[in-house]
Amino acid sequence: MPTIKLTYFDFHGGRAEPARLAFSIGGVPFEDHRFAGTEFPEIRKFTPFGQVPVLTVDGVQVTQCDAITRYAGKLAGLYPTDPFQALLCDEVMYVVEEANVKIGPTFRMKGEEQKAARLALVEGSMPVYLRWLQKQLLAHGGEYFADNRLTVADLKVFVDVRTLNSGRFDHVPTDLVEKVAPALNEHMRRVSSLPEVAAYYAKFSA
């Protein structure tokens, strides 16, 4: 087993959380390197593109969150081996990441500028993404997004929906998911109730 270190901000959510979950669910040993936001200016000096997450595997640093998540999924047995099911898994992950890219610039905004930008997303692209994800979930049986089992696609959507519901994003209603794609909330609750997922979060609240 390679020596693995995952570096990201110290909070539950964001682009590293699906990989954290995958490693934990699969029992893959890794160093969960978390840092405070105040440390980021120094951390970014040593990362490609000045971004996180980064994964270090046997001393080799790797960037790009979906590549990291896919790798974690493969080690944890949470990524399809069938090429078509892998395609479906990737499709869902990329759609969620595209939505994340759209909201990303709003974190650098303040006040009315941020409010206007986020309300534009709430009234525009966010419902489009959420409804598409719900449609894909239901088209594949209603429980999982690919391979008829838990994959990293489910973890990526789980983290995203959990965050949207949390109130962490100012000006994004916490009932947005329930209003436009309630099946995604059912999916989130199902994933959160898995013993491995519950155990992962329980260790932080102990």
pLDDT bin (cut points 50, 70, 90) of residue 181 is very high
| pLDDT per position as a tens digit, 150-180 | 999 999 999 999 999 999 899 999 999 999 9
Kindly report the length of the chain. 206
Confirm whether 131 is domain-assigned. yes
What is the bridge-based pairing of β-strands 54-57 and 4-9?
A: antiparallel
Beta bridge partners of 35: 9
Residues 92 and 189 in one domain: yes
Confirm whether 203 is domain-assigned. no
Question: Quick one: average pLDDT of 97-114?
Answer: 93
Separation of alpha carbons 145 and 92, rounded Å? 8
Separation of alpha carbons 91 and 70, rounded Å? 12
Distance of alpha carbon 166 from its chain centroid, rounded? 14
Q: What is the CATH number of the domain that holds 72?
A: 3.40.30.10
* Angle made by CA atoms 133, 135, 140, in degrees to the nearest 5: 95
**Which of 58, 60, 52, 57 has its CA nearest to residue 34?**
52
* 205: pLDDT strictly greater than 90: no
Question: Quick one: average pLDDT of 100-123?
Answer: 94
Confirm whether 204 is domain-assigned. no
Q: In this structure, how many other beta carbons lie within 10 angstroms of the beta carbon of residue 74? A: 17
Residues 66 and 156 in one domain: no
Separation of alpha carbons 189 and 178, rounded Å? 12
Q: Which domain holds residue 70?
A: 4-77
Residues 118 and 188 in one domain: yes
Separation of alpha carbons 16 and 10, rounded Å? 10
Residues 109 and 128 in one domain: yes
Tell me what percent of the residues of the chain surpass a pLDDT of 90.
95
Q: What is the model's pTM?
A: 0.95
Beta bridge partners of 31: 5
Q: What's the total number of domains in the chain?
A: 2
Sign of CA dihedral 125, 122, 158, 185: negative
pLDDT bin (cut points 50, 70, 90) of residue 206 is low
